[in-house]
């Protein structure tokens, strides 16, 4: 039996009850902890925590993440722009330079824009005021309902509903079900963020796109970074840039689990009416955990 891999689920904010603290990702944690090998042995140790700032202005664990025994960081950038210090971003960059895996996710407008200064992967995330989408035609409002949120805000559907995942050709292994067929469904969200492949990094590529139910426009859902060697000779670990942390949060897997009061859009019933389709995002999570650790 292989040694268990250590996964860190980490938010970029301290604990605030009425916000997206890490306990709101409990279904994700439970699923990761349920993954076993053919003998029934658990494959992953999962630690879930919120950011804790010390007198130096940084989270002591994140500031020295490269010295930790974690194999993967699943980073949920739920801050309004100040969620990661320079020291934390530098440590996360070093973490990947050691060959370890990183999943980074954010949301609409400038939510999670502290990701921008993480080496390499940060450049895949585009925000309203930081690292804007290089395609100026995409810098426009998509979601027509929540007028307090500006672009990027792709409307893939209501929270509690599904959206169709459109894989790139050829289909990436992250998007394959156990039987070899292709994952089709992800949880929807009314205002997803913007991600793209990094132009001068051939290891990065868009592996899945979505479609706005408001405008019919396409947008990128997932950017994958394959293993590569940087200009300094570092063997970089695999990484993922996601358009929204709502693909993983409890509320988007089961709206009965609740959400912060700031999320006011009326939820849909698609997931409740067909729970079987939720297996697709759980399969994707299983694939991500394995892929980032390889």
pLDDT score, position 201: 96
Identify the bridge partners of residue 104 per DSSP, sorted by sequence position.
Answer: 75, 241
| Per-residue buried b or exposed e for 107-146, using 16+ beta carbons within 10 Å of the residue's own CB | bbbbbbbbbbbbbbbbbbbbbbebbebeeeebeebbbeeb
Q: No. of H helices and E strands in the chain?
A: 6, 14
Q: Is-above-0.95 flag for pTM? A: yes
Helix (H) or strand (E) holding 203: none
CA distances for 64 relative to 61, 87, 116, 144, angstroms: 5, 9, 19, 42
pLDDT score, position 2: 63
pLDDT score, position 3: 86
pLDDT tens string 227-276? 999 999 999 999 999 999 999 999 999 999 999 999 999 999 999 999 99
Identify the bridge partners of residue 49 per DSSP, sorted by sequence position.
Answer: 10
Give me 225's structure tokens. 């970074």
What sign results for the dihedral spanned by CA atoms 31, 67, 225, 113?
positive
Residues of the chain with pLDDT under 50: 1
Which CATH number applies to 5-293?
3.40.50.880
Give me 66's structure tokens. 């490269």
pLDDT score, position 1: 46
Give me 91's structure tokens. 């440590």
* CA neighbor of 264 nearest in space, from 275, 251, 254: 251
Cβ atoms 101, 70 nearer than 8 A: no
DSSP state of 284: H
Identify the bridge partners of residue 125 per DSSP, sorted by sequence position.
Answer: 195
């Amino acid at each position: 039996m292989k040694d268990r891999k250590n996964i860190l689920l980490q938010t970029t904010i301290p604990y605030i009850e009425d916000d997206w603290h890490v306990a709101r990702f409990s279904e994700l944690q439970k699923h990761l902890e349920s993954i076993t090998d053919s003998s029934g042995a658990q494959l992953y140790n999962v630690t879930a925590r919120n950011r804790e700032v010390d007198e130096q202005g940084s989270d002591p664990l994140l500031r020295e993440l490269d010295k930790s025994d974690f194999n993967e960081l699943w980073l949920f950038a739920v801050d309004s722009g100040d969620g990661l210090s320079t020291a934390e971003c530098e440590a996360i960059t070093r973490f990947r330079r050691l060959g370890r895996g990183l999943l980074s996710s954010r949301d609409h407008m400038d939510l999670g824009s502290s990701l921008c200064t993480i080496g390499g992967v940060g450049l895949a995330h585009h925000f309203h005021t930081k690292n804007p989408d290089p395609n100026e035609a995409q810098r426009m409002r998509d979601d027509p309902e929540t007028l307090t949120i500006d672009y990027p805000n792709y409307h893939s559907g209501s929270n509690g509903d599904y959206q169709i995942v459109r894989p790139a050709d050829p289909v990436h292994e992250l998007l394959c079900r156990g039987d070899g067929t292709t994952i089709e469904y992800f949880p929807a969200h009314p205002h997803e963020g913007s991600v793209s492949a990094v132009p001068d990094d051939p290891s990065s590529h868009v592996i899945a796109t979505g479609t706005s139910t408001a405008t019919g426009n396409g947008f990128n859902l997932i950017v994958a970074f394959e293993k590569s060697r940087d200009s300094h000779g570092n063997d970089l670990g695999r990484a993922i840039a996601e358009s929204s942390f709502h693909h993983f949060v409890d509320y988007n897997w089961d709206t009965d689990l609740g959400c912060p009061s700031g999320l006011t859009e009326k939820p849909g019933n698609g997931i409740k009416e067909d729970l079987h389709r939720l297996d697709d995002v759980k399969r994707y999570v299983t694939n991500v955990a394995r892929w980032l650790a390889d």
